Each structure stands twice: as structure tokens, then as C-alpha cells.
Structure 1
């Protein structure tokens, strides 16, 4: 068909218009991220209403929650208040300020960031304004508030949000909360008085860019030694070993083994080598064989030197005497009877709070923390360790005689069996700290009841002994 010049130009114009339209449609379809770049573009996409409930009940929303490009949006103010937070406008930061459990959460409308005590949470998309209401991504708001989100699809897709079920801050521990924040503490905390919880809270990041929750399982590092010591005392009560047994009985040919007693290993007065190779998959037997080739640090019984190697030897003796693995003996004797369902020996595949190390002024995810049985292999939670603390105030696990032996100092360093001991204003306090790749931990308790402090930090290098004292000083 032959077209004149006018027809040809008309077709060219129509073709250009249609091509531009198709490009626009395709851009919206294949690149939804670009659609979210501004609110005017977002409005081109379809907003689908969705049923969102709080604690199982559907509020009378002023602006109905909706789904847009796969993200569910809810009214910021209403949702925050229904989940227990107070909210106000922070003029200085030009942001909404939420307060809950001592946390200050800032969100500037039109952005995709929630700032929780200085820690940034990145939302999948920016907040929007609908009918004068700030609508924010539901999951990101829930994460900032440490709330629980549950999804159902039957009979229709619904979402339910519940208040943070585990965090707790009381008036007696408000100063503790402020103290820990000013110290830049990261990890889980529990403070109790006579067994009653006064503070239970998470600080900082756990998994990368996800906030720590106080119920999260994490490595406890050398707090493990209190379990090792208790296991030796349990086996003593069962008549399977004696504290004056020599190491030669269990590890023939160990240097100084005929002089080293179990008492010395427990109290770090044996002179046993402190260090050993930390390689993934290294067995307890291989570590003992390595220690056996090393020289003693001093003549047994004449000095004190903190020795991880000594507690490796104790773990080996526990296995030799009980006929089962170290972890299984702890489970049978302590962990299972106390209902410590979130405690056990860590493995590289176990999903626990990530540890962080400092690198060039920045906190970076740490490599896997390799330890050995008896020294720092356990993971736990603050609540499980409170069960452990409570049990050590009774004879549920060990006799009073055994407990007194554990909490008696045997050197100038005031170390007992798996615990350090000090007197403060006439009160006896037993405590221990721990450290490992990416972790710093501490536990302080009073054997007759009183204040218990559990700090399970996931930043390496924190001064746990000072932090334990600082927390105690701020409890009212």
C-alpha cells in the first residue's frame, strides 16, 4: 500500500505514542522498585485492602491497611499505640517518635528507615501518606517494636500482630536501661531480685540489621564452666569420683598428673596449660592429646592461673566417668530436669544470635566461635540461666555441702569451682564472665537470693566485670 507524506507522518506519530505507552507499562510491570520511588508513582499501582488484627481483634482503622507491590502498610500511630507504644512528633528530628520498654524509635515520613536507639532498620519501601495518615510497612514497624507477626491464609489472608511478649522494664531498672544504652551494650539482659524479673530486654543487632530480642538463644562462653563444675560435684555425690583423685587416674602420662587433683583443675591451681588449638571439628580426645604434650605453667597447687585447658580435662573426666558425652550428661543431670529447653552445646548449624567483632572502627559479623567441651561450648537464654540461678539456691540439683564447696575461694584470686567470689557490703556475691569470638558474657548472683544479673552480650571485648558492677549499682 502506498501512503502519502501526511499519512506516513501520522503513522510515525501514532507508532511513537504507542511505543512510549508500552515502555511505560512494561517498566511498571518488570521493575516495581522504580514504581516505589515516589508516592505519585506508587499511586499508579493497585492498593489491595487486607485484614490486619491486633492481639486477635480487628480495630476500627481510620485508614484501612493495604498491600502494595507485596508490602503491607498499616497506620503508624494507631498500630504503635495498640502495641503499647507512646508516640509523639519529634520536631528536632522531623520524625515520629515512639517509646516502648525504654526504646526510642524514630521514623521520618517518606523514608524507609526506623531508628531504634541509634540502630537502623531498613524497610522494604518508604512510608506513604493516605488521607493525612502515615502508612508504614507492617513488618518493619513490628520489628522495631519487637512485636510478633502471624500470617494466615484460611479462609482469607489475614495478619495478626501481638505485643512484644518477653521484654520487660520496671521502674526499679530504668536507670539500668539507661546505663546499658550509654555503654553501647549489645546483647540480652535479665535482672531479677529474689527470682522476680525486673528487666528483660535485648539491645543492638542480633542477626545482621535485626534487633536482639531477649528470648534469643546465644553463646554463653565461659559461663559454661559453672555447668562443668556442677557436673563434677554431681559425679562426686554419686560416688563415681573424688575431688582428691589425681589426673593420672583418668589421663595416664599427663605431665604432673600424679600431683594434679580434680580440686586443682576446678580451682585453676593445677598449672595445666591454658591454651589449645581451636579448629572446627576437633574432638575432645584430640584436644586432650594436644594438652598432654605441653609443659605445665607451674608446679601443681602453688599458684593460680585461669586455664581453659584445665576445664577441657574436666569435661574429658566427666565423659570417662559418666559413660556418656559431656553435653548429654549436662542434659540428663541439669538441663532437662530444670526445663531449660533453650540450652545445649552449640554447633556451626545451630541458629543462635550472631556475634560481632570490631574492625576498623566498625562492628562486623564474627566467624564461628570455636571452643571445646567444658569451657565455652554452651548456648542458652537469659530465662534458662535464671532457672539455673534459682536451682543453685536450693538443693534441687546439688547438696548444700557441694554448693558451699563451689562458692568457696581457694586462691588469692578468690576463685572457687566455676565461680569467682567477693563480698559487697556484707553480702556474698558469686559471679563469672566469659568471652569468645564475637561474644562477651557475665552472670552475677547472690547464693541466698537477692539480685541476679545476666548479661549475654554479642559484641567482643566488652568489660563484663565492670558492666556487672555498673548494673548492680543502678538497680533500685
Structure 2
């Protein structure tokens, strides 16, 4: 009996010890988890400078759950914005370069001229101050961010040094916003920039910056026409050469001249198969099988096919590819470092198409050399505009031919022409999957307007006219 009682006491002792050990282990693990969580959610100070200087922060920037937070008002004002509380919207309102930005404390949403940008985390409140994710605030203010050491714990921010809005273009800026323009815009007066801005989305949850490379669609044709004129100056071809000399067997090729191709009076088919990777030669072969739309030289019809044929002739006579010839002849000499032929892998501003009432990112815009393959920036196109006011790349006789109307449609070579008061305006628009573009310039100098839109279906000719009217 005593032996049984002893065994019972010993067993109870073992059980009690095990329970105590389990409780201690659980308590220790809980303490470790809580300590880890506390460390993860702790505000960790981080160094953020503005233009290389440490500003007088009201609340020190910090790292929280992997996101860098900065005080909204201080940072926005350091970056050039004015900040006030909008009682109606119960939001902070930031105004900068014609843009109005709203942010409601405790949310992850920034509203920029009606476009929504979502931050990776909600804003926080510390000592009565709204703290917002730094990256998102910089994005909506189009500011620049760089890490200043390898640990990624020191960050420098600097104001947007690309966008520009002047007093004389405020009305144009307002007009573009009211019209829902999305893309990059530049206005210059005799070569001096008086507006340079990005509008709308450049990618999903990302705003357009005015220095972004983008597809220019049929603005490409001005380069194709200029290339033909340069080859003519160099004696490689003549404008009265027939298509038969370059594309034997083309329907009525002996009656079609390069002049007709340039001025859209050849009757060549307008359209062709647009498949990524399709060669220029295969497109030319396809065009040879299509009937003409009218007898050469008797009418006008805008023809992408005609400019494909011109690109093919450029390659034959120059001995190099279309893109390489443009680069060697125009882009490189003019310092157009952000212009070239697009490829699917080239990172350009995304194009958007309307689908069921919503703007969605478009598929890759497939074109063909000579018509709509180029990408560029508003600043590079201003260099092109300046060059066409001088004899940097073409002689005056060639320039005059570009801007002379050859049909009732007032189309020259790669440009449309019209009179506005005492000025001659030369212009062109372009469209492609997700893109609407336009360039309007005064011959001999004056106001130049460049609109590189990334929404399909915009009425670019009306937009160009509306912008010009707003700054007159």
C-alpha cells in the first residue's frame, strides 16, 4: 500500500514538473513573438535629406513595417508644394505646378487631378502629424529619390526639376486637364520652353512624367520624309524616281513616283498586316498584291502603306536599316538621345485603351518602319522642331518642299499645312494602339506645341488648336 502511494506521489511530481515546463516554454515563446512584433512595428528613425541637406523636421522620418514615412506637410513644402487643409473633403490639399493633390489621413489614397494613386500602406498619425509613405508622396509630386548609402537607410529627395508651368501657359494647362488629356505636353516659344508637364497615368498606379519616352505614332512620318529629302540631297535618289526602280512588279509602279508616296497621292493601299516581328520585306510583298485605291497622281488618300514603301527605299539606297539611318543622320547629330525605333522590350510609357468604360493598358502597338515605329520625348522632338527652323539637317530647298501643300488636303511631305492669320502652321497627328499624338509648329519660329498622348481616341487636331487658342 505504501509502495503504491509512493509511486502515485512520484507520478504526480513528474506530471507537475512537465506542466510547469510547458507553461514556462509557452511564456518564453510568447515573449519572443511579442518582442519580434514590437520590433517589426517600432518606429525606426531613418535619415532623409532634401537636396543633400538635413531639413528641420517637425517629426523625424521613420521606417515602419518596411515602409519609410515622412511628415506630409513638411516634405511637400520642402519639395515646392503649398499645403492646406480642405475641410470640405476632409483632406490635405497640395498644389504644385498646376496639379491639385488630395490625401485623406488614415488612407492609402492620393488623388491627383482626378487620377487615383494608391500607396503601399495607409498614412499614420504621430503627435498630431500625418505621416505618409515617402515613395508615394514623391511619385505624386514627381520628385526624385536616391539612396545615399549602401545600407539603404539614408535617402535624399529633390524637387521635380523637369516639369515647368509659366504664367502664360496656365490657361493651356487648365484646358488640357479639362479635356482629360493623358500623356506628355510641351509648349515652346521660339525654342524656349514655357510648359512641360506630364498628365494622367504612365503605367498602372503610376503618373506620367514629362521626360518619359513614349511612342509617337505617325509623327514618325516627318522623319521618313526628311530622310528621303536627305538622300535626294546626297544624290542617292530623286523625287521623280518611279517605284518600279525599287520595287519591281508593283501595280502601276512605273507611274508612281517618290513624290506621290510622300504626298499620299500614289493610290498605294493604306493598310497591311500588323504582326510583331513581320519584316519590312514581307510587308512590301503584301502591298504588291493589293490593288491601288486610285490612279496614281489623281487623288489624295492617307496611306501608311506608302510610307512603308518609302522606308524600304531608304534602306535600299542608304545600305543600312531604316532606324540606323535615322539615328546616324538626325538623332545622333541633333543630340536626340531618347529617340529610336521601338521594340516590345523597350520601356516606354504604356498606352491605354477604353474597355467597357474603363481605361486599360493596351497591347503592344505594332507598326512598321516608316509609319509609326518611333519612340521619343517632348524634349527630343523640340530639338527636331528647332532643326527644321534652320539648315542643320536639310537645305532650305528641301525644307520648302516638306512644307508645300500638294493636294486639296494641304498635305506636304510628312506634314499638313494651314494658314493662321499671318502665320503658316505645319502640323501632324498620329494614332496607334493606346496612343494619340500631335505636333504643331509655326514656320520660321513662334509657338510649338507637342502633345504625346497615351490614351487612344483623343481628338488630337482639336487639342492642338485648343492649346494654341488658349495661349494667343
Give the TM interval when normalised to the shorter protein: over 0.9
1:445 aligns with 2:437: no
Looking at structure 2, the residues matched to 291 and 430 of structure 1 have their Cα atoms a distance apart, in angstroms, of: 29
Looking at structure 2, the residues matched to 25 and 377 of structure 1 have their Cα atoms a distance apart, in angstroms, of: 59
Which among 76, 82, 93 is matched to residue 80 of structure 1?
Answer: 76
The CA deviation at 1:76 is: 0.8
Question: What is the 5 A alignment of 1:32-47?
Answer: 45-47=41-43
The CA deviation at 1:152 is: 2.4
The CA deviation at 1:211 is: 0.3
1:334 aligns with 2:337: no
Looking at structure 1, the residues matched to 68 and 150 of structure 2 have their Cα atoms a distance apart, in angstroms, of: 18
Which among 250, 270, 276 is matched to residue 274 of structure 1?
Answer: 270
Question: What is the 5 A alignment of 1:73-112?
Answer: 73-112=69-108
The CA deviation at 1:426 is: 2.2
Looking at structure 2, the residues matched to 179 and 215 of structure 1 have their Cα atoms a distance apart, in angstroms, of: 21
Looking at structure 1, the residues matched to 70 and 198 of structure 2 have their Cα atoms a distance apart, in angstroms, of: 25
Deviation per CA, 1:64-113: give whole Å up to 9, x if none. 11111111111111110010000000011101000001111111111111
The CA deviation at 1:314 is: 0.2
1:58 aligns with 2:33: no
Q: Which residue of 2 aligns with 1:459?
A: 455
User: TM-score scaled to structure 1, two decimals?
Assistant: 0.93
Which among 124, 132, 145 is matched to residue 128 of structure 2?
Answer: 132
Q: Which residue of 1 aligns with 2:377?
A: 381
Which stretches in structure 1 are left out of the alignment for 5+ residues?
30-40
Alpha-carbon spacing, 1:444–1:25, altered in 2? closer, same or farther (3 Å): farther
2:40–2:65 Cα contact (<8 Å) kept? no
RMSD over aligned Cα atoms? 2.3
Deviation per CA, 1:13-58: give whole Å up to 9, x if none. 99689759957965996xxxxxxxxxxx989822111111001100
1:469 aligns with 2:455: no
Q: Which residue of 2 aligns with 1:356?
A: 352
Equivalent pairs, count:
465
Looking at structure 1, the residues matched to 335 and 90 of structure 2 have their Cα atoms a distance apart, in angstroms, of: 48
Q: Which residue of 2 aligns with 1:49?
A: 45
User: TM-score scaled to structure 2, two decimals?
Assistant: 0.94
The CA deviation at 1:345 is: 0.2
Alpha-carbon spacing, 1:3–1:382, altered in 2? closer, same or farther (3 Å): farther
Looking at structure 1, the residues matched to 17 and 99 of structure 2 have their Cα atoms a distance apart, in angstroms, of: 64
Looking at structure 1, the residues matched to 64 and 416 of structure 2 have their Cα atoms a distance apart, in angstroms, of: 57
The CA deviation at 1:153 is: 2.0
Secondary structure of the equivalent of 2:354?
Answer: strand
Q: Which residue of 2 aligns with 1:204?
A: 200
Q: Which residue of 1 aligns with 2:154?
A: 158
Secondary structure of the equivalent of 1:471?
Answer: helix
Deviation per CA, 1:251-306: give whole Å up to 9, x if none. 01100100000000000000000000000100000000000011000000000000
Which stretches in structure 2 are left out of the alignment for 5+ residues?
1-7
Looking at structure 1, the residues matched to 460 and 220 of structure 2 have their Cα atoms a distance apart, in angstroms, of: 15
Looking at structure 2, the residues matched to 251 and 455 of structure 1 have their Cα atoms a distance apart, in angstroms, of: 36
Q: Which residue of 1 aligns with 2:64?
A: 68
1:219 aligns with 2:192: no
Secondary structure of the equivalent of 2:110?
Answer: strand
The CA deviation at 1:157 is: 3.0
Q: Which residue of 2 aligns with 1:36?
A: none
2:184–2:208 Cα contact (<8 Å) kept? yes
Q: Which residue of 2 aligns with 1:177?
A: 173
The CA deviation at 1:118 is: 1.2
- Pick the structure with greater CA Rg: 2
Looking at structure 2, the residues matched to 80 and 14 of structure 1 have their Cα atoms a distance apart, in angstroms, of: 55
Secondary structure of the equivalent of 1:336?
Answer: helix
Looking at structure 2, the residues matched to 134 and 218 of structure 1 have their Cα atoms a distance apart, in angstroms, of: 36
1:421 aligns with 2:417: yes
